[in-house]
Amino acid sequence: MIVLSGTIGAGKTSLTQMLADHLGSKAFYESVDDNEILPLFYKDPKKYAFLLQIYFLNKRLDEIKGAFVNDTDVLDRSIFEDSLLFGLNADMGRATKTEVQIYNSLLKNMMEELPDEPHKKAPDLMVHIHVSFDTMLARIKKRGRTYEQIDSDPSLYDYYQKLNERYVTWFNNYDESPKINIDGDKYNFVEDPSAAQKVMSMIDEKISALSIN
């Protein structure tokens, strides 16, 4: 099982499809466009932060169970990132400490209910895409989701900045599985075929070294 991680606009969805096609496996995507709660969260974060987190937890567990079928299935978001996102919302006053404690406890209990195969509860490989804050903002603006735009809600600038910073620390501390970092600024794999080829080669080398292909 291979999972992607990275902040908003890093290119997770694009790289997930590229990897699945490259490996001849199945791609699993984070529920965004059909997520009825996400736009509500952007309108009223304090009211919907906890509900959104539970929604994503349920979806990610479905994805993990679905990805048991093949060793090289690709998930475009890691369940291990959710605590980072919810913790940031709590620090910004969008969720309470009690809600964070309940969420973390629920996550732990639900993960324990997965099949008793340690390598399946965590991915075989974490592929992290790091992009600069400026790149992150440019891509958010380019993809044009109204509820994500700073022009509509200036407070999102601070949220995005803190999110980008925390991902650096989160990835450095991540130890649930082998990992590889992709410089999304240096390798614009979404728009540059040569960069995409280079990224595929980097991941192939990592997979080969881990003998998971």
Active site residues: 76
Residue 42 marked ligand-binding: yes
Find out whether 14 is annotated in a ligand binding site: yes
Residue with tokens 């991941």: 203
161 in a known ligand binding site: no
Q: Is 10 annotated as a binding residue?
A: yes
Using an 8 Å Cβ cutoff, are 46 and 93 in contact?
yes
Contacts of range 142-148, beta carbons closer than 8 Å, 24 or more positions apart = 143/9, 147/38, 147/39, 147/42, 147/43, 148/8, 148/42
**Shortest CA distance to 94 belongs to which of 40, 166, 168, 136?**
40
Closest CA to 59 of 107, 102, 19: 107
**Residue 148 marked ligand-binding:** yes
166 is in an annotated binding site: no
12 is an annotated ligand-binding site residue: yes
Which residue ranges are tagged as binding site for ATP?
6-14, 139-143
Would you list which residues are annotated within the binding site for substrate?
30, 42, 53, 77, 82, 148
